[in-house]
Amino acid sequence: MIRTLTPSDLRKDISKQKIDWKQLKKKEPSRPLIGQERALKALEFGIGNKRGGFNIYVSGYPGSGKSKAVNHFLEEKAKLEETPGDWCYVNNFQDSFYPKKLKLPNGGGQTFKLEVQQLILEIQKMLINAFESKEYHDRKEQIIEEFRQKEKEFLKQIHRKARENNFTVTRTPIEILVIPTDREGTPLSDEEFNKLNQKERDQILAKQSELKDELFHLLQKNREIERESNKSLFKLDESISSYAIDTLLEELQEKYIGFEDVLLHLSEIKNDIISNLHDFLKASLQQEGPSYKQDVRFQKYEVNVITDNTNLSGAPIVLELNPTLNNLFGKLEHESYMGTLITNFTLIRGGALHRANGGYLIIPLKDLLFSYFSWESLKRALKNNEIIIEDAREQLGIISAKSLKPEPIPLEVQVILIGSPRWYYLLYELDEDFKELFKVKAEFDTAMDYSLSNIQDFAGVTYKMQRENDLYPINNKAMGRLIEHASRMADDRKKISIKFREIRDILHEADHYARTGEKKVIDVKHIEQAIEARYFRSNLIQEKINELIKRGHLMIDLTEYRVGQINGISILDLGDISFGKPNKITVSIASGKVGLIDIEREAKLSGPIHTKGTLILQGYLLEKYGQDKPVSLYASLVFEQSYSEIDGDSASCAELFALLSSLADLPINQGIAVTGSINQKGELQPVGAINQKIEGFFEVCAQRGLSGKQGVIIPRPNLDNLMLKKEVVAAVEKGLFSIWAVDTVDDGLEIITGFPAGKRLKGGSFSTNSVHCRVDERIRQLNANIAAVSASNAKEEHLSY
């Protein structure tokens, strides 16, 4: 069935809808996002399920409102949840290589840090005062005096023992000298000692050795007394310092009852100060008064707050736009010391996972995958429910500077990845962990149904954008034109695009033109100007191609009638713009058995889909004409002046028309272009970018001059996709350009040749003087030619014998 389209078929007019624009301007949109019910239901279910792998993948194309919807639901959900506590790292006094974590209540991290700082200051002050007090010195002097008296008594015994045996004792830093004396107590000189007989000398030496041993035991006992004295002094210091510290710790310990890790850390601070009391006091005194930050010796008592949720109400929402390993998991910073990089627990820095712990983390998937180690580390953290801070150089096996191994922090977070559908399907197929960790998919559409309620919702959102961005008011006609453009963006008259990023850009540009023209309102001409200007900025290549066609460099016939030649329409997609471009398709026929030759395929310029479309043509020929005979021919098909790869099957209908024209020896009107794919039964199937294809051919015709005999044949299923420019609609209304919608190949043949396609009659033939009849006769003639040649060759071969 052939349908010649009227202007009402080519464009949807919003003015036919009865809409109270004034009321919509006052009304706030009732829903956070329109046209995304499927995605919103997925978010309603998924957000808040932080365990069991119910993380969320938000799938959609740019401008579909993904981030806006996610933020809306997160804000509503997060504010009702409990605010997570703070996490800190403190020194591990047993092994500083493994810093310890502490969990504190919400806002307690900074408070505890200041409390510990104040504690150390007060301990410094109190210990200095305690050890400078008269009571301490009196008790210390008493212990020392007791030791001196015992030591003095021991020394008396040593000297008395020596005198009784005619010896004197002299103590040097390295040994004890026991020197023999005469009866008057005067030490014997070497000369006097040598004058003694051998027996006397031996007796003296034996007595000297015996006395040395005895004196050594006495000195050992004296050293035990000295050690006991030192222990007494240490116990005195410990008792005083312990009492002073306990007095200061009592309030903190009472405050943090129930926080075992905190109490243990406070106890370890006390023990470390007591164990290193001399250094602690020395450092305190060297600073000329108590101070916390002037000496690195006090650094080990600091508290490093990794997450501070003091000003947070509800669960945290963190958006990490640069998800590198360090930005996600934190890092260990280093300081240069005498040419060497060193670190300590105060240089541990938290990452996005620490800030989002207990809440939600939003990450753009593409950036995550392109960051080294980030994806695998994130999966490991989600599987193990813990955050491990590690140096990326260690994963590469590179020897780095001095490092630490901080204790892992428990992780409770819901990760929300935002990415395209393509990334989702690739990960789902190739990454076995992905489907276990991201069980919720929220898929965003790019269009919604063209209905009155949706039009009202679209307008409401647009008015809201206008107010939020402080743009000029949008009048009714401008809003209607914007909705019409949104329908064209969707490539479907029954849909409206909800790519509000692009809609917002058009509004901003229209606002600029309104302000430039000193208007106080955005009118329809400003919307038109913005749409046309955006197109104009990108269509330089299209204009160059059209110029080449106009000058005859690209040979496109628009007024002649040619056999085996037709104008197809291809689409060129440059990213920011796509446009239709006419292509001359020609077919040559000869006798042979090769069949259909696609020159593009032979030259390796044909994509797989185009090749499939060409093979379908062969199926059509066999189905239509090969029921009672073989279809033996040689047909070559080519896109003229095409030097790049061709793909897609939207030209298959045009190719078939050219092929049948050549077989039937019927000329085709070159002013009519054809787009559409076919199946083996001869039915036309819809194609993409139908508006751009029609407009592309129209512009080429318009620059040559519209004759009224030009137009485009499209598949009937593409009727719903038509949202053509007004100049095309106007040309159709004036009869200068035509657009036909057809269902089958037969319908199109009648338009482009002016002959009836023909029907199959009983016996297998076709109705007289029809296209199919002429094609069928030509195939029979080609078969006969082949049979005659084969018979002649056989006869010559027989005669040669």
Domain residue spans in the chain?
A: 2-35+445-536, 130-277, 543-706+716-722+744-784
Cα 379 from Cα 417, distance rounded (Å): 12
Question: How far apart are alpha carbons 461 and 463 in whole angstroms?
Answer: 5
Backbone angles phi, psi at 361, to 5 degrees: -125, 125
| Contact by Cβ (8 Å): 317, 363 | no
Rounded distance between C-alpha atoms, residue 745 and residue 758, angstroms:
11
Instruction: Give the pLDDT confidence score for residue 211 in this predicted structure.
Output: 74
**What's the burial of 156, exposed, middle or buried (CB within 10 Å: 0-12/13-18/19+)?**
exposed
Looking at residue 17, its pLDDT comes to 65
The confidence score (pLDDT) of residue 401 equals 63
Structural tokens at position 223: 């050293």
CA distance 750 to 270: 100
DSSP 468-530: HTTPPPBPHHHHHHHHHHHHHHTT-TTEEE--HHHHHHHHHHHHHHHHHTT-SSB-HHHHHHH
Per-residue pLDDT tens for 246-269? 888 888 889 999 899 999 999 999
Which tokens belong to 155? 């020394």
- CA 241/CA 243 separation, integer angstroms: 5
Residue 588 bears catalytic tag: no
Burial 354-364 (b: 16+ CB within 10 A, else e): bbbbbbbbbbb
Q: How far apart are CA 671 and CA 710, in angstroms?
A: 4
Q: What CATH fold (topology level) applies to the domain 543-706+716-722+744-784?
A: Ribosomal Protein S5; domain 2 (3.30.230)
| pLDDT (0 to 100) of residue 501 | 86
Q: Determine how many CB atoms are found less than 10 A away from the CB of residue 655.
A: 27
For residues 130 and 244, the answer to whether their CB atoms sit within 8 Å is yes
Q: How far apart are CA 169 and CA 177, in angstroms?
A: 6
* Residues of the chain scoring pLDDT < 70: 15-17, 26-32, 63-65, 151, 154, 171-176, 182-185, 218-219, 222, 233, 286-295, 394-402, 795-801
Task: Kindly name the residue from 241, 570, 650, 738 that is annotated as catalytic.
Answer: 650
With tokens 């043509």, the residue in question is 617
Which pLDDT value is given to residue 260? Answer: 92
Residue whose token pair is 């009983």: 762
Least Cα distance to 419 among 407, 411, 431 occurs for: 431
Total H helices, total E strands in the chain: 29, 30
Please provide the CATH number assigned to the domain covering 2-35+445-536: 1.10.8.60
pLDDT at 316: 93
| pTM for the predicted model, two decimal places | 0.79
Q: Which of 477, 469, 537, 458 is nearest to 507 (CA)?
A: 469
Angle at 505 between CA 499 and CA 507, to 5 degrees: 105
Say if CB 774 and CB 747 are below 8 A apart: no
Task: Decide if 693 is catalytic.
Answer: yes
Q: What is the b/e burial string over 184-222, where b = at least 16 CB atoms within 10 angstroms of the residue's CB?
A: eeeebeeeeeeeeeeeeeeebeeebeebbebbeebbeeb
- Contact by Cβ (8 Å): 579, 692: yes
- Which is nearest to 631 in space by CA: 778, 764, 476? 778
**In the structure encoding, which two tokens stand for residue 756, read together?**
């009836």
Q: Do the first three CATH levels of 2-35+445-536 and 543-706+716-722+744-784 match, i.e. the same topology?
A: no
- CA atoms of 795 and 11, how far apart (whole Å): 67
User: What is the structure's pLDDT at 292?
Assistant: 46
Look at residue 263 in the predicted model and tell me its pLDDT: 93
Residues 250 and 735: their CA atoms lie apart, in Å, by: 97
Phi (first) and psi of residue 342, to 5 degrees: -125, 165
Strand pairing report for 167-171 and 176-180 = antiparallel
174-184 pLDDT per residue, tens: 666 777 776 66
* Rounded Cα gap, residues 484 and 730, in angstroms: 16
Distance CA 378, CA 50 (A): 15
Catalytic residue among 693, 725, 738, 770: 693
Tokens of 599: 């020159």
How many whole angstroms separate alpha carbon 186 and alpha carbon 179?
A: 10
Q: What is the C-alpha end-to-end distance of the chain, expressed in Å?
A: 60
